Structure 1
Amino acid sequence: MDDRPADDPAATRPGVDSPYRALLDALPQRRREAMVDGVRTAVFEYGPEDGPAIVFVHGFRGDHHGLEPVAAHLPGFRVLVPDLPGFGSSDALPHATIDAYAAWLRAFVAAEAPALGGRRPAVLGHSFGSIVVAHAAAQASDGTVLEADRIILVNPIATPALAGANTFGSLLALGYYRAAAALPERAGLAVLGAPPIVRGMSVFMAKTRDKALLRWIHDQHDRYFSRYASRQSVLEAFDASIRHTVGEVAGRIAQPVQLIAADRDDITPLAHQHRLRALFPDARLAVLTGVGHLVHYEQPAQAARVIRRFLAEPAATDGS
């Protein structure tokens, strides 16, 4: 069953002006749909069709809008942002396990290959998207791999949510999502989209002292945090997000990896990001200061500079 509202919330009421709107509006933009691994997937593109390609994978309960500020700071690149299955305008997976998300992402990148002229894209994941990208990049049991040139993980999830300091909060959140899924439809939807809860999550993650930027961040969460296919898909995605990390597959990722962490990230402490970097065969870590788990909203220009520098690195050669 599709529990999404019939109208996009962004189209039904005036919003807060984006500080990145002028940059975003200057980019060519395209929207289309594709069948990916049996899932109808909404795909949003930014930048020239002949530019070097980057696939962006957004985080839990978000959609493509969340990564638009980073795309806005990468003119000249072709940025492809699919809505994850079950979120935004994409249909849900039959069962939203981490392996199913990883298989879907491998299929998406493979399906885009002909349009990219044989060039393998870079693939970026933010937060829960970092887990999806990492598991897709690690070779699957059937031998399939993510056909990506390089991997970029923003606010990567390095700490198991059900272990350590975050255990109690994660269990509370899991109970919240399970209760919302068990309630009658109307009550469950009201619990999931309750404004105090959505705002509380936004306040917890935001670190900026810029009042105008903070208003926009809260407005973004108000608009897009409750755009999902069903309550069950939200529960399954949350379950996947708290039971898996990037670190559990880091050693099996062959591509060069760029980690972009934040010194005030309450989801994954910085010390864990340094330990995560050491788990990859080939990784580097950039730490942004004065920001937490919302790098894509608060410091997209700084993140874009790191991305450009990483993608400009010469490719390694055999014997190097």
Structure 2
Amino acid sequence: MPLSKTSTRHLFGLAKARGKRENLAGTALWRYSTSNPKGKILLIHGFRGNHLGLSAIAAALEEYEVLIPDLPGYGKSEELLGSHDLKNYGRWLADLYSELDPETMVLGHSFGSLVVGSAIAQGMSPAAVILQNPITARSSEQKDLPNRVARFFYRAALGLGPVGSALLRSWLVVRVMSIAMATTSNLRLRSLIHQQHHHHFSNYRSDRVAHEGFMAASSGNVLDYAQWLQMPVLLIAGEGDSIAPLRNQVLAHQLIAGSKLVVIPKVGHLTHYETPIEVAVAVDEFASKL
């Protein structure tokens, strides 16, 4: 089947067959290998996700060796000893990267883009960086209703004990979030997205991880790390992204010297689910010119 006609569901199946779990520097990591790879790419997932969220992209990058860890506190990876803030997540990633081939490229999706930026500011020096739907405005400073509701929800849930814990993981909350972010009109794909979120969006180790991660995600901005982004940088934006609006991606492109911006039409923040092949094509074209 030509890759261009491969569904996201089929890509998930290919990734499951190809990925092998490892443990590297205390982190659960999945390696998607291929013979004679064109290059190596480390993918860093977003808030409340795990490695499976980016596995369709790994499958679409069929000519590359792809590594995807579970962030500390998510999936199969243990929590950090300290706070799950951007500094500590960045230190974790810099340490993990030091175990890899120095020619490995790094991709960060959404919150993962902030982790990548923090790691680079702390000395990580990858061959190239891809920022997919990067966070380019602090949500803690946004006054729109969705951001205010999210801040209130996480603060309230933290103070409600077991009730708040159940609320954070509740079916209704996850479904509302999933509906809000999905933009595709393909009903089968929408169903798959909701299914993936219900299976994996609450796959964190403790409420502490979720709350501290939310505080880190809402207070971060990739542009805080622009001065350290001296390597080749690719920005991948969704045309209709409400979490990382296109206007902010254009600003990031202007501020990060020498960066390249690829805008994927008719998609929002879930490019890893809705357009994994388009993401892989953009990454491949970028990497091929390095």
Instruction: Say whether the fold is shared (TM-score over 0.5).
Output: yes
Letter in 2 for 1:276: A
Task: After superposition, give the CA deviation of every residue in 1:248-305 in whole Å (9 maximum; x if it has no partner).
Answer: 1112211110000011001122111111111112201000000000000000001100
How does 1:172-187 map onto structure 2 within 5 Å? 172-185=149-162, 187=163
Whole-Å separation in 2 of the counterparts to 1:265 and 1:150: 24
Q: 1:158 aligns with which of 119, 124, 136?
A: 136
Return the structure number with greater helix share: 2
Q: How many residues are aligned here?
A: 281
Query: CA shift at 1:210, angstroms?
Result: 0.5
Q: 2:19 aligns with which of 29, 33, 43?
A: 29
How does 1:171-320 map onto structure 2 within 5 Å? 171-185=148-162, 187-314=163-290
Q: C-alpha root-mean-square deviation of aligned residues, in Å? A: 1.7
Instruction: Report the counterpart of residue 9 of structure 1 in structure 2.
Output: none
Letter in 2 for 1:18: R
Instruction: Report the counterpart of residue 3 of structure 2 in structure 1.
Output: none
Whole-Å separation in 1 of the counterparts to 2:160 and 2:100: 40
Gaps of at least 5 residues in structure 1 are 1-16, 114-118, 315-320
Whole-Å separation in 1 of the counterparts to 2:45 and 2:54: 7
Query: CA shift at 1:137, angstroms?
Result: 1.7
1:70 aligns with 2:47: no
* Distance 1:111-1:49 versus aligned 2 partners, 3 A rule: farther
Q: Is the 8 A contact 1:73 1:300 kept in 2?
A: yes
Task: After superposition, give the CA deviation of every residue in 1:92-149 in whole Å (9 maximum; x if it has no partner).
Answer: 1121111111111010110223xxxxx42000000000111122123x3xxxx11310
Q: Is the 8 A contact 1:251 1:279 kept in 2?
A: no
Letter in 2 for 1:90: S
Instruction: Provide the TM-score with structure 1 as the length reference.
Output: 0.84
Q: Is the 8 A contact 1:110 1:147 kept in 2?
A: no
Letter in 2 for 1:196: L
Whole-Å separation in 2 of the counterparts to 1:244 and 1:22: 34
| Aligned-residue identity in percent | 36
Larger Rg: 1
Whole-Å separation in 2 of the counterparts to 1:252 and 1:285: 18
Gaps of at least 5 residues in structure 2 are 1-7
* Distance 1:135-1:183 versus aligned 2 partners, 3 A rule: same
